[in-house]
């Protein structure tokens, strides 16, 4: 479960990004995150743990500074001992926004899961600090995380493997690079295991800005595919063998572009023209 809010409505934004976000031209997603975090007064901490490249954290430092944020730091946590460091916790407690880069989401769950850093991020978000993640970082923000899986439009038994994520929200399961990598089937398979959650399929350069009021706002150049299984009437997941297609009856699907919104509590979608 997410950490409890310190007061009603105090939770910060949760911002999963589908990967390959614009970093050089309009930068709509990152610019909006900076604005929410305080603009020139923002204090952003970048966590590049998902990446094995030494340059990933520095690249985002440069981008955020170009957007007018002078206070940008990197927590380059490579092992669980570093994730228990008091200085790392102090840096997070001073942040107005925390940003997880892309890479391999299993590095995030295995290195950060259950550590002081993970607990601090959860508590920080509950008291108003915004937490964003791109690609692997986007998958990590939810309680149930897609670790890996096969591509394809049809849900297949055994197609996807889930593991615990950071747990900022238990309402959603996130999949990234959605349209480019043909991931509708694996997201639906994940939801067949857990019909409580709402599936968010994020196109590249597209983000969901999820507020404390449970409203999701779509920002970016692509679309978000919302897969709602709240009215699921039948699933064959428990009856089929690995590699066989899974029957799902009663799935509701929305495709929402920039300016549209979706209420996670009422599961109501609103088009961009009415936003």
Considering only CA atoms, which of 152, 123, 172, 154 is closest in space to residue 162?
Answer: 172
Residue 144 bridge partners (DSSP): 164
Active site annotation includes 177? yes
Catalytic one among 130, 144, 177, 217?
177
> Residue 263 is encoded by which pair of tokens?
């209420």
Considering only CA atoms, which of 114, 264, 121, 102 is closest in space to residue 199?
Answer: 264
Active site annotation includes 204? yes
Residue 232, classed as helix, strand or coil, is coil
Catalytic one among 135, 142, 169, 235?
135
Burial of 70 (0-12, 13-18, 19+ CB in 10 A): exposed
Catalytic one among 142, 204, 217, 235?
204
| All residues at 6 or more sequence positions from 245 whose CB lies less than 8 Å from its CB, including other chains | 154, 155, 156, 157
C-beta separation of 182 from 203 below 8 A: no
Query: Concatenated DSSP letters for 80-106?
Result: TTGGG-HHHHHHHHT-SEEEE-SS-HH
Q: Active-site residue numbers?
A: 135, 177, 204
């Amino acid at each position: 479960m997410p950490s409890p809010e310190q007061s009603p409505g105090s939770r910060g934004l949760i911002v999963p990004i589908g990967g390959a976000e614009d970093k050089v031209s309009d930068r709509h997603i990152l610019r909006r995150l900076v604005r929410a975090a305080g603009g020139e007064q923002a204090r952003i901490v970048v966590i590049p743990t998902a990446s094995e490249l030494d340059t990933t954290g520095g690249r985002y430092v440069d981008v955020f500074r170009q957007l007018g944020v002078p206070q940008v730091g990197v927590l380059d946590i490579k092992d669980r001992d570093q994730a228990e460091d008091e200085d790392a916790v102090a840096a997070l407690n001073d942040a107005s926004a925390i940003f997880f880069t892309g890479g391999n989401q299993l590095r995030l769950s295995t290195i950060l899961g259950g550590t002081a850093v993970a607990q601090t991020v959860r508590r920080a978000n509950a008291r108003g600090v915004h937490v964003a993640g791109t690609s692997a970082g986007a998958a990590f923000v939810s309680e149930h995380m897609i670790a890996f899986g096969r591509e394809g439009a049809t849900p297949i038994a055994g197609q996807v493997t889930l593991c615990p994520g950071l747990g900022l929200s238990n309402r959603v399961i996130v999949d990234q690079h959605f349209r480019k990598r043909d991931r509708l089937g694996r997201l639906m398979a994940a939801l067949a295991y857990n019909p409580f959650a709402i599936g968010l399929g994020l196109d590249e350069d597209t983000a969901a800005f999820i507020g404390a009021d449970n409203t999701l706002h779509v920002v970016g150049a692509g679309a978000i595919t919302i897969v709602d299984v709240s009215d699921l009437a039948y699933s064959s997941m428990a009856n089929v063998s690995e590699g066989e297609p899974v029957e799902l009856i009663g799935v509701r699907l929305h495709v929402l572009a920039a300016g549209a919104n979706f209420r996670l509590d009422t599961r109501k979608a609103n088009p961009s023209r009415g936003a």
